[in-house]
Amino acid sequence: MSRSAWKRAAVVLVAAAVVAGAAGCQDGDGGTKAAGASATAQPQTQSPEEAAKAVRAAYAKTAAAKSAKVEMRLNVGSDKAPGGSTFTGVQAWGPAAADLKVFDSSYLADIPGAPVETRVVAAGGATYVDLGTGLSAQTGGKRWLKVETGGAAAEDELMLQLTGGLAAVNMDLPKELGLLAGSSTVKHVGPVKGGGIEAEVYEGEIPGAELMQVWIGADGYPVKTIVHTEAGGAMNSLTTTYSDYGAKASFQAPPAQDTVAFLDLLERLGRG
């Protein structure tokens, strides 16, 4: 496979690491309209203090739940590597872990030999992407591509460039809510109803992101978040819906003998 195709593989890997919660390390203390929602948002009805209190309460409930089922849509607007992927499965926080299916991915579709659908597992401080068997000639027979959290690959300039800076965004939901609750720009947008969702919407700017919006249901748990980032003039977004808080998953890392590290793979391909 060509080096340019492996660059696209890098995009898939880092995008997976981001949504799996294996990227980003900012701590927190406790506006756009999504598809399928009706245009029922009303003018602000809560004060900034009330908005912060509501988000802080959602932070506490989310942190206690420790995990949830998720469906995520990542859209990257970078001129160098635009595209998108969808992820579904279980995401956990404290510690960060995930077991996700990846599909409807323009990046996977553009890599000869890559599977149409694949799996991402985040466990033990690393993120693994199942490359299937079609790419075994390039991976030395290894099926799983691995990136270490906080390692050299996570800070690789190519990765950061191709993901439009998304690797700098914290995808740990409780931490994001803590950052939003403490933001001087947090505000109540209003109620929204549609697409099976009924919630109060709050938004504000948080460190590392242009804008975060959270939809909080009647039970106090977030049902959706939308995070926008801007890098190099390109706007990127990650939309996540949440359900079944406290959901369990195995989060088991693949056997070490069946994994290839991202930096080792680049060396095999001659980047050095």
Model pTM score = 0.82
Residues 72-89 have pLDDT tens digits of 998 877 666 678 888 999
Q: What was the pLDDT predicted at 171?
A: 63
Whole-angstrom distance, CA of residue 236 vs CA of residue 230: 6
Instruction: Answer yes or no: is pLDDT of 66 > 80.
Output: yes
Whole-angstrom distance, CA of residue 203 vs CA of residue 187: 6
DSSP string, 208-223: TEEEEEEEEETTSSEE
Confidence label for 150 from pLDDT (cuts 50, 70 and 90): low
> Could you tell me which residue, 218 or 95, shows the higher pLDDT?
218
Which whole number is the average pLDDT over 216-238? 86
Q: What was the pLDDT predicted at 126?
A: 83
Contact yes or no for 22/149 (Cβ under 8 A): yes
Contact yes or no for 267/156 (Cβ under 8 A): no
Element (H, E) at 4: helix 3-19
Confidence label for 134 from pLDDT (cuts 50, 70 and 90): confident
- Six-digit token pair at 226? 């939308």
Whole-angstrom distance, CA of residue 168 vs CA of residue 24: 5
Whole-angstrom distance, CA of residue 201 vs CA of residue 52: 12
Kindly report whether the peptide bond that precedes residue 191 is cis, defined as omega within 30 degrees of 0. no
Arithmetic mean of pLDDT over the chain: 79
Which whole number is the average pLDDT over 25-54? 60
77 Cβ neighbours under 8 A, 6+ residues apart? 164, 234, 235, 236, 237
Going by the DSSP 8-state scheme, the letter that residue 255 receives in this structure is P
Contact yes or no for 28/175 (Cβ under 8 A): yes
Which whole number is the average pLDDT over 103-124? 84
Least confident of 114-118, 167-171, 186-190, 219-223: 167-171
Question: Shortest CA distance to 78 belongs to which of 144, 152, 162, 186?
Answer: 162
Contact yes or no for 121/128 (Cβ under 8 A): yes
- End-to-end CA distance of the chain, in Å? 17
